[in-house]
Amino acid sequence: MKHEWIKVFSPATIGNIGPGFDVLGLAVKGWGDTVEARRAPAGVVISAITSAQPLSKDPRRNTAGIAAKLILDLLGVKGGLELKLRKGLPIGSGLGSSAASAAAGAFAANYLYHGGLTKEQLILPATKAEETVSGGFFADNTAPALLGGATLTRSCVPLDITRIGSIRKLHIVLVTPNIVVLTRHARQILPASVPMKDFVYNMANTALITAAFAKNDYSLFARSLHDVVVEPVRAHLIKGFAQVKEAALQAGADGVAISGSGPTVFAITDNIRKARFIEQQMVMAFIEHGVKSRSIVTSVDAEGTRLID
């Protein structure tokens, strides 16, 4: 019984949701990281990693391992954990890859040792684990990865998170081009200040997106996915971004934005057939710039990190 394996899935997340820089985050279905875990005598061991990219098995350098260890320490248990990590999310994709691993690791440790911590209580350790690797303390991926749906980070220190809700009619096209964007660099190029007019505009859009998820209202979301603060300075990090955005809008998307710090780009629609066409057109537009990509048509993951199988 003690050595039974469990399997935990944690979804991909879209940081910012366009204008809501460092405030909003959204969990999406289909892509994510999986952690298999069982009790072990002591310490945290990562016995296997399945990943398209090279990744250290050192549990102190992997967010799943770090988060699991933080939970064990928090619970004060003497036992340890063995983890097997399957990375469904490419690293540095703007889909919250390290956050998903952290969320899954924290969830597994709490579950196996009957810690009784709520998902809300797992956000802080998961965010700390992510910080160790990313260098920044931000919950806009860990919070939605754990809670599901759209989340709002009012403050990181102290951590103040609210789950806003979901939009059932929403179809999301995710396109991850084969481009490397370093989050650290994507933050460094941000302006130190924002013109008053742009401040008001992004704030209004972010508030409307919040209302949209709180009321499960697609049409509100459809008219508010506009970011005039961060996208203009980050767009050039993604080769072909302007044309990919234009292709999505031409194909009928109601909005297009960068996921987190990129390079993943996402588009929205409430029509599944349109979604497939938008996906095609976006992938083609990247190809025209000599960029290969991986894509999916998906929807909101309202559940967040969970046991599977």
Which CB atom, from 206 or from 264, has the smaller least distance to a second copy? Answer: 206
Regarding 45 and contact with a second copy (CB under 8 A), the answer is: no
Question: Does residue 183 carry a catalytic annotation?
Answer: yes
Contacting residue, 41, 56, 135, 154, with a second copy by CB under 8 A: 154
Least separation, in Å, of the C-beta of 237 and a second copy? 18
Regarding 166 and contact with a second copy (CB under 8 A), the answer is: no
Regarding 210 and contact with a second copy (CB under 8 A), the answer is: yes
Which CB atom, from 156 or from 296, has the smaller least distance to a second copy? Answer: 156
Contacting residue, 51, 121, 162, 280, with a second copy by CB under 8 A: 162
Which CB atom, from 135 or from 195, has the smaller least distance to a second copy? Answer: 195
Q: Provide the sign of the torsion angle of the four alpha carbons 208, 209, 214, 218, taken in this order.
A: positive
For tokens 């992997």, the residue is 62
The string of DSSP letters for 242-281 reads: HHHHHHHHHTT-SEEEE-TTSS-EEEEES-HHHHHHHHHH
Regarding 188 and contact with a second copy (CB under 8 A), the answer is: no
Q: What distance in Å separates the CA atoms of residue 231 and residue 290, rounded to the nearest whole number?
A: 22
Element holding 2 (H helix, E strand): none
Contacting residue, 54, 76, 78, 155, with a second copy by CB under 8 A: 155
Contacting residue, 34, 62, 166, 205, with a second copy by CB under 8 A: 205
Reference 81, options 142, 34, 133, 35; nearest CA is 35
Query: Tell me, what DSSP letter sits at residue 300?
Result: B
Name the token pair of 55: 């990744």
Q: What distance in Å separates the CA atoms of residue 228 and residue 272, rounded to the nearest whole number?
A: 28
Q: How many residues bind a second copy (CB under 8 A)?
A: 38
Interstrand relation of 160-165 and 150-155 (parallel, antiparallel or unpaired):
antiparallel
Candidate list 130, 131, 231, 279, residue with the active-site label: 130
Instruction: Give the strand order in the sheet containing 293-298.
Output: 255-258, 265-269, 171-177, 293-298
Contacting residue, 11, 15, 18, 20, with a second copy by CB under 8 A: 20
Report, as residue numbers or ranges, the catalytic residues: 130, 183
Q: Which residues bind a second copy (CB under 8 A)?
A: 20-24, 152-155, 160, 162, 164, 190-196, 199-211, 214-215, 220, 223-224, 229
